[in-house]
Amino acid sequence: MSNTPSYTSNEIFRAAEMDSVGKYIIVEGETDKPVFSELIRMKQAFDGISERIIIGAGGGKPNILSWLESKRAVNIKVVLDRDFDDLQVELTDRRIISLDVYSIENYYFSSEVIAPLFAHLTQSTIEEVERWMNLESMTINWSGNLEELLATLYYYQKQYGGEKSGWGDRDIIKNRDNWEVCPRKVQKLTNDLLEQMEGVELVTCVDFFNLQFPYIECLSKSFPGKLLKKSLYRYLKLHCEQSGGEFTSITNTEQLMQSLTPRLMCSSQVQGVLRRLVA
């Protein structure tokens, strides 16, 4: 077990402010800490760097940005999810490194990340897996079912000012072992958000989204990744078994994400983030 202390958001801010020698990296939430801790450790080992880096969670983007504004002299680095934001704040605060997808989970939805794990599970080479691996049917299913919910979530956060706690733990995937998005559950979540916004109509959300959202890209990048993890897990389980692989060692979604985390090093986008963090 690591001897590195675990800080609350206030403690990590205070420690970074008082320690002019140590190197601090602040991420948004507690679930981000182990991911970046592992990736940064791997990056340092590859580069032959032994510098100690302290990683802490800042309690969410608004809390972090507020603190940065008041502590401009503190020398730290901060990783922020893109969410639905166009983080132009990076242009004025070089301490901020923003992801170019909605959240760290969205980087997992890539064949370059998944293929190394599948090579192990199917006793194949990465090259052999890459020749047949195709996530297109999964991403097509997402795009065909989530566009209206995406627009509603965007309006809910950006215009209505709603918190992620209003939807962040919802299950939108079909029951049992089906990997597909469930239209009924998606519609239920969409309706629940519209009701919370007291009469805002879906067309209003869609028009606002189309006018404001600066990124036109696959929903695997733009849609909240946490809501899609179960779909990815079931999709990979099905395709692994169809390919003669053994998936029994990965029994749930969180185990899959843990198994894929070191493979994030295969992502050129993740490598770019890590280069800036350890520079």
Tens digit of each residue's pLDDT, the chain (279 residues): 344 557 888 999 999 999 988 899 999 999 999 999 999 999 999 999 888 999 999 999 889 999 999 998 888 999 999 888 765 555 578 899 999 899 999 999 999 999 999 999 988 999 988 888 889 999 999 999 999 999 999 999 999 988 887 888 899 999 988 999 999 999 999 999 999 999 899 999 999 999 888 766 789 999 999 999 999 999 999 988 888 888 988 999 999 999 999 999 999 999 999 999 998
The pTM of the full predicted model, rounded to 2 decimals, is 0.92
Q: Out of 98, 126, 141, pick the residue that ends a domain.
A: 98
Which of these, 124, 130, 161, lies nearest to 244 by C-alpha position? Answer: 124
278 in a domain, yes or no?
no
Same domain flag for 125 and 230: yes
Q: Out of 98, 128, 144, pick the residue that ends a domain.
A: 98
Same domain flag for 135 and 235: yes
Q: Out of 73, 98, 123, pick the residue that ends a domain.
A: 98
22 in a domain, yes or no?
yes
Distance CA 24, CA 127 (A): 38
Same domain flag for 131 and 37: no
Question: What is the predicted pLDDT for the residue at 2?
Answer: 43
Same domain flag for 74 and 124: no
Structure tokens at 124: 């194949």
Same domain flag for 115 and 86: no
Give the HSE-up count for residue 125: Cα atoms under 13 Å, Cβ half-sphere: 3
Which of these, 244, 247, 222, 220, lies nearest to 233 by C-alpha position? Answer: 247
Query: What residues contact 11, with CB distance under 8 A and at least 6 apart?
Result: 56
Question: What is the predicted pLDDT for the residue at 231?
Answer: 97
Same domain flag for 117 and 30: no
Question: What is the predicted pLDDT for the residue at 216?
Answer: 64
Same domain flag for 121 and 82: no
Which of these, 240, 246, 251, 230, lies nearest to 115 by C-alpha position? Answer: 240
List residues bridging with 73 in a β-sheet.
Answer: none
Question: What is the number of helices (H) and of strands (E) in the chain?
Answer: 12, 4
Question: What is the predicted pLDDT for the residue at 132?
Answer: 83
Same domain flag for 114 and 243: yes
Question: What is the predicted pLDDT for the residue at 87?
Answer: 53
Same domain flag for 172 and 253: yes
Same domain flag for 72 and 111: no
Look up the domain containing 68 and give its range: 9-98
269 in a domain, yes or no?
no
2 in a domain, yes or no?
no
Same domain flag for 176 and 192: yes
Same domain flag for 163 and 245: yes
Q: How many domains does the chain have?
A: 2
